Structure formats: structure tokens, C-alpha cells
Amino acid sequence: MSIQKIPVDAIQKIQKYVQQVLNIPESENRPRFPSSLEELDDGDAPDSLDALGDWFKAASVIEADSPAPNVEGSWFLSSINPGDALLKLPGLRLKPGFRLVTYLNRNGKDGVGATWAVPEEMSTTALLEVAIGRSGDRHQPPHPEGALPDVMLATTGDRSPASFVVASILARELRELGALGTSCNWSVHRLVQALPTQVKWDWQVAAIQDLSPKVRIFPDGRAAVEFFTCRVAAPINLFRHLDQYPASSYQPTHADRVVAIATR
């Protein structure tokens, strides 16, 4: 059994890369589609032939009966491919035969998302949109046929310490994918390796001296990842994250706990 410390700046670089790949286009975060030609004002008109071509190209992607991006609280299928995030991550990759798909729900300035791992043969647009017809409000996302119960079950890797750290970050970024406004949670956390000194802290547990990220790999193949974050939006807290991985998969159990509360 060994414990390995991981530099927090290395994890931050991994997180930044994943966030860049999982960047949802503005047209899906804040859709602005006129409902009729009469609603097109001068501000919406394309200012060149190239822009006009782009306008028609974007419109042609959405078929007449397809759920389009909207801000009325109806689910729609995102154009991004979350699986691209696994193309360059160290030690972790997408299992062959699977595709990651994301559904989005926007209601005013708030939004949520739901990402699934689906067998490739069941990931056609037509089949994925069938699930939208069975969805409900933001708390009842589409559940495509054949989707795995946890997206991380569609990942595999070399079982190295780095691969488990990557899995812990990726799982949280995928869970947060599509969140806007009051639905954001993980996006207001910042990775830390030392206690921030801008505020005073009230420890809820015995004071922790070493906040550096760590990975422990057990002889039977199980693994555990521990790291700390500071929530930078009120309430400002220090969190301890402990992910435990079975020997057979990269689907962890998460334990996220407040260990210190910021005081003035």
C-alpha cells in the first residue's frame, strides 16, 4: 500500500483542460431564437453574406420536429461531445463502443444538464431525442435507452495514481456540465493545498495540517483520492473530498465534507 502526493498545480491544469473541452456554446447556454420573422429586428439581422450563411447553417442543424435550444425549461440535446475530454487525459480513456451525450435545460438565467454514457449503436439523434419525450422538468432529465447508470462506468485506464485523480476531477466536471446560475456548485470550488489566509477559520474537525492532494493504492487494486477545495461563494467553507474506487472500475463513491468554516 502506497500513498502518493500530487502537486495541486498539475490537477489545476487537468481541470482547466477539461473545462475548455466541455465548454458549452453560448447559443446553448443562452439561446436567442426568434419565434417568427416578425421578431427579427435590425439588431438580429446578419451584416454580411458570410454571416447570413452562418445563420442558415445553424438553423439547418435543427430539424422541424427536433427539440431546439430554448430558455422555457424544455430539455434539448447539446451539440458538444463530452467524450473529447478523454482524448488527452493521462491514464484515463473512454471504453470502446460508448459515446457520451449531454442534455440541457435552460429556464431564464438558470440551467442544468444531464450527461450519459450510451452504446454507440443507440446514440443516433433520433433515439436520443425519443428520451426527451419521456422527460419532465429540470429534475426529470431525459434518460436515453441503454445508458449506463453512471457515466464513469464507461471509462477505463491504467490504474495509475494520476488516472484516479483525473477520474475524480472528470466525474465532478461532468456532473456540473450544463449548470448555470443557482444550479452551480462544483464551479465555485477552488483546489487548494494550503489553508487560505484571507479569512479566519473555524475547524469542524481536528485541524488538518497537510492539505496536499493524495492518492492511496491498495494491494487489492482499490484506490482512494483525497483533496481539498475552498468554496469561494457564500457560504465560504473548506471542503475535504474523499473518493474511493473499487478494484474493478473508475466509478467512485464520493464523500464531500465541510471541515472548516470561514469567519470574519
Per residue in 150-190, pLDDT (tens digit) is: 999 999 999 999 999 999 999 999 999 999 999 999 999 99
Q: What is the pLDDT of residue 144?
A: 98
Q: What is the pLDDT of residue 115?
A: 99
Q: What is the pLDDT of residue 47?
A: 55
Q: What is the pLDDT of residue 46?
A: 54
Between the CA of residue 240 and those of 206, 253, 254, what are the distances in Å? 13, 14, 10
d(CA 83, CA 104): 16
Q: What is the pLDDT of residue 58?
A: 46
pTM of the model: 0.87
d(CA 166, CA 142): 27
The position carrying cell 434518460 is 143
Contact (CB, 8 A) for 80 and 102: yes
Q: What is the pLDDT of residue 1?
A: 63
d(CA 246, CA 184): 28
d(CA 135, CA 239): 33
3-class SS of residue 144: coil
Task: For 148, list phi and psi in degrees, rounded to 5.
Answer: -70, 150
Residue 235: is the preceding peptide bond cis (ω within 30°)? yes
> Exposed, middle or buried by CB within 10 Å (0-12, 13-18, 19+), for 1?
exposed
Low pLDDT (below 70) residues in the chain: 1, 33-66
CA atoms within 13 A on the CB side of 25: 11
Count Cβ atoms below 10 Å from residue 164 Cβ, excluding itself.
25
